[in-house]
Amino acid sequence: MIFKSLTWWEIGEYITTFVLLILLLVNNPWSDNFWVVFVVAIVLILNIINRKSLEYRNKQRIAAALNIQLKKFSEKLLEVNSRIDILINNNSLNQRTLSSGKMGLSENEIIACLQKDVESINQSVSSMIDYINGNNLLDRISVIEQKLPYIDSSNYSNSSDNDDTIKLPKPEIIKQKLPEYNYDSPPKIAWKCIHVIEAHNQSVTDMSITMDKQYLVSVSWDQYLKLWSLEDGLEIDAIQGSEQGLVTVATHLNNYLDHGIATGSLDQDVKIWSLEKKGKKSLKFKLEHILSEHTGSIHGLEIAPENNFLISGSYDQTLKKWDLIEGTLIDTCYDDSGAINAIALNDEIGIMVSGGGDGTISVWEINSNRKLALLVDNLISLESISISASGEYVAAGCANGDIKIWYLPPSIFTLFQEVSPTLQLQGHHGQIMDIAFHPDDQLLYTVGVDGFLKIWYCATGKELGHLKISEDNRIFSLTLSHDGEILAAGGIDGIIKIWQQTKTTIN
């Protein structure tokens, strides 16, 4: 244990000194070398003694200095502890005073009376705040404000303009029942996997199912546009659609064969494709038009079947309307809210929505390009938007995993509004990549980078179940057939999984 604290130089010194002492003892006293060995041994011994004495004195000085600093530190620590005790005592006194609801009253009667009045007012305000928070009055007022513009003034009793009497509703209005919320049990639906396809070499960025449910169209970062048979899951055709990654694809509801497929990519081009029949069953992609008016990458495409035109949304902050057959630009509108990450439309109602990284969603009238409303709520970088088949609801998926749903009041067509969400869901860990409403507006489907495809019941905001491509696969895209019976998800590794709906329970 002693030698563990010594250096090799010290050990060598001690051994050398010990050998010299042995030589001194065994050497002939009358030899000439005796005095030389004796003097050397004495020198070495004195050197060791002096070094050890110096080390001991240094340790004593260091110990004394440390004691002085420790004493000062202890004094400071006692001072801090005493201050903390004073603060704790004062805080406890304040807490007891606040919890008892009584403040020290002044000796002056007038001031004491005012203090009592202030305390009474504080208690009343606290009670009102508790009542408002506990009964969702703010939400109720918001609903009333949205419905107030649609109340028919003819439902109220007639009176002259100068009549100051209270105007009461007509008796038949009082007898009417208020609309009731739908609290029916959610539909019992299960999904059966019918195909797992190794579709692309990179992430599947977007997909679309044709109206007749015969084909699935997919695009990917690998630059390829592909057509798949939903009957057997086999590839029908594939073509390189861009020199850069393909981001989005859209298909025509009524006629996808003739100028009925559109793709958008990072190279800022929109392309319109047809499907040519080769034989009885084979189909081949045919490029019809290249639309190069955008100056930013294309992140949203929608085909309006009623009007037979294409709408594209880009990072250049523009929405462009194209003639689907001629490939000509019809109109352009600029969204001052920022770059456009996603778009969705309802052609029957005549509205479309667009959103991006700025945290707002713009609602547009398709035919006039007039901005009807802004959907707001401090959103975080939207990546996906969907509008319901009824046109009454818009859902958006954010980068932080939030899902928000807005109700669109009919008054947006006559009065520009900023609309707040009616429902918020927190069901994903990480970015939500795609989102879609079921055709009956009851269900909402969302996919995210956490690898889950989740199914939500819109009436209650409850999750009904979830699906996965595989245990370790993140989901990049989602598509739902127009009757809601076929569902497909595209993975980050290029795999597409397809399910078919069955009327049983969700597993």
* 157 touches 135 (CB < 8 A): no
Q: What domain count does the chain have? A: 3
Task: Identify whether 104 is part of a domain.
Answer: no
| pTM score | 0.64
What per-residue confidence (pLDDT) applies to 153?
42
Last residue of a domain, one of 123, 149, 180: 180
Q: Is residue 110 pLDDT above 60, yes or no?
A: yes
CA gap 133, 139 in Å, rounded: 10
Task: Identify whether 249 is part of a domain.
Answer: yes
Mark whether 383 and 239 lie in a shared domain. yes
Mark whether 208 and 279 lie in a shared domain. yes
Average confidence score pLDDT of the chain? 80
Mark whether 89 and 116 lie in a shared domain. no
Task: Identify whether 106 is part of a domain.
Answer: no
Q: What is the crossing angle of helices 8-26 and 34-100, to 10°?
A: 150
Q: Is residue 343 pLDDT above 80, yes or no?
A: yes
Lowest mean pLDDT among 133-142, 174-183, 278-287, 413-422: 174-183
Task: Identify whether 365 is part of a domain.
Answer: yes
Q: 85 CB contacts (<8 Å, ≥6 apart)?
A: none
Mark whether 345 and 451 lie in a shared domain. yes
Residue-wise pLDDT tens digits, 380-422: 778 899 999 999 999 999 888 889 999 998 888 888 888 889 9
Mark whether 143 and 227 lie in a shared domain. no
Mark whether 362 and 486 lie in a shared domain. yes
What per-residue confidence (pLDDT) applies to 120?
64
Beta bridge partners of 206: 219
pLDDT class of 158 with cuts at 50, 70, 90: very low
Rounded mean pLDDT, 227-248: 94
Task: Identify whether 185 is part of a domain.
Answer: no
Of residues 490 and 379, more confidently modeled: 490
Lowest mean pLDDT among 80-94, 319-333, 463-477: 80-94
Rounded mean pLDDT, 276-283: 82
Beta bridge partners of 484: none
Domain limits for position 52: 3-98
CA gap 500, 434 in Å, rounded: 19
CA gap 480, 186 in Å, rounded: 19
Residue-wise pLDDT tens digits, 177-219: 433 445 566 777 789 999 999 999 999 999 999 999 999 999 9
Q: Is residue 505 pLDDT above 70, yes or no?
A: no
Mark whether 435 and 380 lie in a shared domain. yes
Task: Identify whether 103 is part of a domain.
Answer: no
Percent of the chain with pLDDT over 90: 42
Task: Identify whether 507 is part of a domain.
Answer: no
CA gap 360, 358 in Å, rounded: 6
Of residues 314 and 64, more confidently modeled: 314
* 395 touches 444 (CB < 8 A): yes
Mark whether 305 and 335 lie in a shared domain. yes
Mark whether 59 and 203 lie in a shared domain. no
Lowest mean pLDDT among 57-61, 86-90, 271-275: 86-90
Mark whether 372 and 316 lie in a shared domain. yes
Q: Is residue 231 pLDDT above 90, yes or no?
A: yes
What per-residue confidence (pLDDT) applies to 71?
77
Strands 270-278 and 282-291: antiparallel
Mark whether 435 and 379 lie in a shared domain. yes
Angle at 131 between CA 126 and CA 137, to 5 degrees: 125
Rounded mean pLDDT, 485-506: 87
Residue-wise pLDDT tens digits, 344-381: 999 988 999 998 867 789 999 998 888 999 998 877 77
pLDDT class of 152 with cuts at 50, 70, 90: very low
What per-residue confidence (pLDDT) applies to 200?
96
pLDDT class of 124 with cuts at 50, 70, 90: low
What per-residue confidence (pLDDT) applies to 86?
75
* 368 touches 354 (CB < 8 A): no
Residue-wise pLDDT tens digits, 462-479: 898 999 998 888 999 999
Mark whether 351 and 418 lie in a shared domain. yes
CATH code of the domain covering residue 290: 2.130.10.10
Task: Identify whether 105 is part of a domain.
Answer: no
| H runs (alpha helix) in 168-302 | 171-175
